[in-house]
């Protein structure tokens, strides 16, 4: 089968997944914007140019009157390639609503449509009150869900989504929260595929074996670990504050923060003000897999205080219990509270400090939790299982009669 997969870029962690999908017999074409249309988050690491088993195709991108980019060569590429499936996500599927000739072309050429969603921060249809309970922030923690224009746009987006979902043959989603949201837009449960999200787990398992047989890189002590871009919505400041609250009880514990970003200087100043400079390590960004693996292997617990997702998967590959709150929706599929980690109350520093205390106070239980984390990745959410879920979705829509 031939699939055109529209995406904003190819993040470094996505390349191995695409290769695995191709290895399962899929003729895959990645369709990307030719120019930067500002849809990729700041600091997102893209896959470096290399020989790929999948093809990469580019379309000119243009910001349309509704404020979002559209791939203006999409129709021409569909006619030229004649794929069996078009898989497309936000914001590019908006183009299908505003230019109905694309959907007409797809029907004429029997091209199936799969919508890819996270669907994090997507409200149930008609439920504007959702945003009061789940406010939307950007990565600088600036509130986005306010004002008349936001709510008018939210209403319009709901109707657009409902229309496009009705035209789709299936949806492929990052997280199981799709089952709670998409039926309100008229999507049948059998048309919802949850593929989860994954790093290159094959490489991580390989690094894990190397690290286990390598001499320790760090001093032996209880260690709290965080990995990620240092931006406000990661809430690393909350982690630092929680660390201060338990620091007296655990005087030999160390906090390691791996990553770089605009908040680093502010966080370093916070650490100084709290008197934690001798027990907090800022490593900067680390991309060497073996070094990252050593940090994870030699840590006691992984903490994600704010937004994120894949760093949880990575930590679980190295048998770490995980403490997190509201992330990108994937945490609900990865972490079972009290089994392989803890969920703390969003934004509550006392709740976070308490959960860290639970892990550090019972190292035997923490070890059992870490082993449970490893099993989730090994058995449920990894490169093989995620790629197969894509193939299952592709086969499903091909088998449907139009």
d(CA 17, CA 390): 10
pLDDT value of residue 400 = 85
Does the 201-379 domain belong in CATH 3.40.50.1580? Answer: no
Percent of the chain with pLDDT over 70: 96
3-state secondary structure of 281: strand
Both tokens of 185, joined, read 């837009």
- Write down the domain spans for the chain: 2-198+382-399, 201-379
* 307, 263 Cβ separation under 8 angstroms: no
Q: pTM for this structure?
A: 0.92
pLDDT value of residue 48 = 56
d(CA 56, CA 6): 10
pLDDT value of residue 201 = 97
Pick the closest to residue 172 from 387, 399, 402, 401 (CA basis): 387
**CA distances (Å), 288 to each of 203, 207, 208, in order?**
12, 10, 13
| Helix (H) or strand (E) run with residue 104 in it | helix 100-108
* 306, 230 Cβ separation under 8 angstroms: no
Which residues of the chain, if any, have pLDDT below 50?
41-44, 46-47
The answer to whether 2-198+382-399 and 201-379 have equal CATH topology is yes
pLDDT value of residue 118 = 85
Report the mean per-residue pLDDT for the chain: 94
Q: How far is CA 141 from the centre of its chain?
A: 18
pLDDT value of residue 44 = 47
d(CA 326, CA 312): 12
* 4, 78 Cβ separation under 8 angstroms: yes
Q: How far is CA 146 from the centre of its chain?
A: 25
Positive or negative, the CA dihedral 352, 353, 358, 360 is positive
pLDDT value of residue 401 = 66
At 289, give phi and psi (nearest 5°): -60, -40
Q: If one looks up domain 2-198+382-399 in CATH, what number appears?
A: 3.40.50.2000
């Amino acid at each position: 089968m031939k699939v055109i997969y529209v995406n904003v870029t190819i993040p470094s962690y996505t390349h191995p997944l695409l290769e695995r999908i191709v290895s399962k017999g899929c003729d895959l074409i990645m369709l990307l914007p030719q120019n930067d249309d500002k849809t990729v988050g700041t600091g997102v690491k893209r896959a470096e140019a290399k020989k790929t088993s999948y093809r990469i195709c580019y379309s000119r991108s243009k910001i349309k009157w509704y404020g979002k980019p559209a791939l203006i060569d999409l129709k021409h590429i569909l006619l030229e390639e004649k794929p069996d499936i078009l898989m497309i996500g936000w914001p590019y599927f908006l183009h299908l609503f505003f230019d109905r000739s694309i959907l007409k072309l797809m029907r004429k050429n029997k091209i199936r449509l799969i919508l890819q969603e996270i669907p994090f921060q997507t409200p149930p249809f008609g439920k504007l009150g959702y945003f009061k309970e789940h406010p939307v922030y950007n990565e600088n923690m600036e509130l986005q869900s306010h004002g008349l224009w936001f709510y008018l746009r939210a209403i319009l987006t709901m109707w657009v989504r409902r229309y496009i979902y009705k035209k789709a043959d299936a949806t492929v989603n990052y997280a199981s929260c799709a089952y709670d949201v998409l039926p309100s837009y008229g999507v049948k449960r059998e048309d919802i595929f949850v593929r989860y999200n994954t790093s290159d787990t094959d490489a991580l398992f390989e690094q894990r074996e190397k690290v286990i047989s390598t001499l320790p890189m760090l001093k032996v002590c209880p260690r709290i670990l965080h990995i990620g871009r240092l931006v406000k919505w990661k809430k690393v400041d909350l982690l630092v504050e929680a660390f201060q609250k338990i620091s007296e009880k655990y005087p030999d514990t160390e906090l390691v923060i791996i990553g770089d970003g605009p908040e680093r200087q502010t966080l370093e100043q916070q650490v100084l003000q709290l008197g934690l400079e001798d027990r907090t390590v800022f490593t900067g960004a680390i991309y060497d897999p073996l070094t990252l693996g050593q940090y994870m292997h030699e840590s006691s617990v992984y903490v994600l205080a704010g937004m994120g997702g894949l760093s949880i998967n990575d930590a679980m590959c190295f048998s770490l219990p995980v403490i997190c709150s509201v992330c990108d929706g994937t945490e609900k599929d990865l972490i079972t509270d009290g089994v392989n980690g803890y969920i703390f109350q969003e934004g509550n520093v006392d709740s976070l400090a308490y959960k860290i205390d639970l892990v550090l106070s019972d190292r035997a239980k923490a070890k059992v939790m870490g082993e449970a984390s490893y099993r989730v990745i090994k058995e449920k959410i990894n490169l093989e299982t995620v790629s197969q879920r894509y193939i299952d979705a592709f086969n499903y829509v091909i088998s449907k009669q139009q």
